[in-house]
Structure formats: C-alpha cells, structure tokens
Amino acid sequence: MRNTLKCNITGAERVTNVPYLNRRADRLGITVEEYKENYVAKKTLADIKVEIAEADIDSVSTKYGITVDTLSDYIKFNGKNRFVPATLVTA
C-alpha cells in the first residue's frame, strides 16, 4: 500500500510515511483512516481560515460544496494550532 495523503479540497496528493500518520492520528485520538479522510493540505487550510475570517463558515462551506460539519472537521484535524471559527454577534 502506498502511503499518500490526498487533499479533500484540491485533490493534490503527497507521499507520507507510517510513523507520521500514526503520530498525527494518535495526537488527535482518531484512526489513520479517519485522518486520511479529513486531510487538507497546509496551504489550502490556511486559505480556508482566511476566507472564514473574512466571511463566515457557512458561505465558505457552500463555496466548496461541503457541509459546515465537514469543514469544521477539516479544520479540527489539520494544522498544529486549533482554529475555532468565531461567530460575530453585534448588538
């Protein structure tokens, strides 16, 4: 089996190794398969975070044709820093 990660947004693939996959999955408390299913490339993830900051998570998820929950999982399972989309409340 070839160890590759495929970005769920762009479709780009990259080669990886088993220890890396195991570390990432263990850190998140998920299986390697779950990590692979939710993988998003670093640059793409950064772009998505900027889009969410400028607009909102609903419009970004619609743009990519995925649910808000799926987009939240992509953000939660990728990157070193936790990113929690803020909801702006104006009074």
pLDDT tens digits, residue range 22-62?
A: 999 998 888 999 999 999 999 999 999 999 999 889 999 99
Whether residue 87 lies inside any domain: the answer is no
CA distances from 51 to 41, 55, 78 (A): 15, 6, 16
Residue 89 falls within a domain, yes or no?
A: no
Quick check: is 71 in a domain?
Answer: yes
Does residue 91 fall inside a structural domain?
Answer: no
Indicate whether 86 belongs to any domain. no
Range of the domain at 25: 4-77
Structural domain count of the chain: 1
**Structural domain contains residue 61:** yes
At 82 the pLDDT is 53
Cα–Cα distances (Å) from 22 to 3, 16, 25, 68, in that order, read 12, 11, 5, 27
- Looking at residue 48, its pLDDT comes to 93
Whether residue 36 lies inside any domain: the answer is yes
Mean pLDDT on 70-87: 72
pTM for the predicted model, two decimal places: 0.78
The string of pLDDT tens digits covering residues 11-21 is 999 999 999 99
